[in-house]
Amino acid sequence: MHGCTECIDVPTVLRVTTQDAATDRRTALKARSRRAILDAADALIAERGAAQFTVDELAERADVSRRTVFNHFGSLEDVVLSTCTERLGLVIAQVEAVASATPVGDGTRASMFDELAQTLRGADLPPAITYLAGALGPLAEGDDPRAQMLAEEAFSRVADHLAGELVRRYPAADLLDVRLLVSSLVHGVAVIALHWVTTTDPAAPDARAQWDALVDRLIHSVRAGYMPEH
C-alpha cells in the first residue's frame, strides 16, 4: 500500500539492523583488543618488575598486531600510564573497603585519626607501591612529567576518597579538620613510599616489616608532632 505511514520497509529495517550489528561487533572487538593490550602490559610489568618491554613484545603477548596497539594508544608510555591508572583504581577500592570496615568512633579528631591510622595499617599498599615504582621508573628517569603527575594523582585520589569516607561517617565534622588530617597522613605515605622503594628490596623477607615500621613511624610523627619528648 503506497502512502501508508504504518507500512514497514523491510529491506531498510534489515539493512539498519545489520549495520547496527556490525557496529556492535566492531565496538566489542575494539574493547577486547584494548583489554588484551592492557592485560598484557600489566603481566609484563609484574613479571619484569618494570615497564621494560617493546611494542613488539607487547603486541605478541596481547596477540594483536603492532598497528592495533597504536590504534588504541599513542605510545608505549601511554599504555603504561593507562595500566597504572587501572592499578590505582584497584588500590583506591581496597583502601575504601578497609576504611568502610573500620569501626566508627565518637567523631572527635582523635578518633578520626585513629580510624585513618587503622586504615593505613590494614591496607596492603606495598605490592601496589612496588608495581607503580617499577612501571613509572623508566618514565621518571626520562623526565616524563606524566609520571610525576600520575604519582601525585594517586595520592590525591586516595586522600579525596578517605576524606569523603570520614565526612560520610561524621557529617558534622569540620571539613577543614578532615582535610588537614587526611592530607597529613596520605601525603606522609607518599614520603615513606619513596623512602621504602629506594632503600628496600621489595623481595626481601623483611620488606613488609620495614614498611609496617615506616607506617608506624609516620603515624607516631603525625600524632605527636615535633614537640620535645618528655
Domains, the chain:
1-74 (1.10.10.60), 76-230 (1.10.357)
pLDDT tens string 71-86: 999 999 899 989 988 8
Q: How confident is the model at residue 44 (pLDDT cuts 50, 70, 90)?
A: very high
Q: How far apart are CA 70 and CA 59, in angstroms?
A: 10
pLDDT interval class at 4 (50, 70, 90): low
H-helix segments, the chain = 10-48, 55-62, 66-72, 76-101, 109-122, 126-141, 145-169, 175-199, 207-224
Indicate the pLDDT class of residue 37, thresholds 50, 70 and 90.
very high
Q: Cα separation of 115 and 108, whole Å?
A: 11
**Residue 141: per-residue pLDDT:** 65
Task: Let me know: does 67 contact 108? Beta carbons within 8 Å.
Answer: no
pLDDT band at 24 (very low <50, low <70, confident <90, very high): confident
Confidence of residue 1 (pLDDT cuts 50, 70, 90): very low
Q: pLDDT digits over 182-226, tens only?
A: 999 988 998 999 899 889 998 899 999 999 999 999 999 998 876
Q: Do 162 and 123 touch, CB atoms closer than 8 A?
A: no
* Rounded CA separation 87/99 (Å): 18
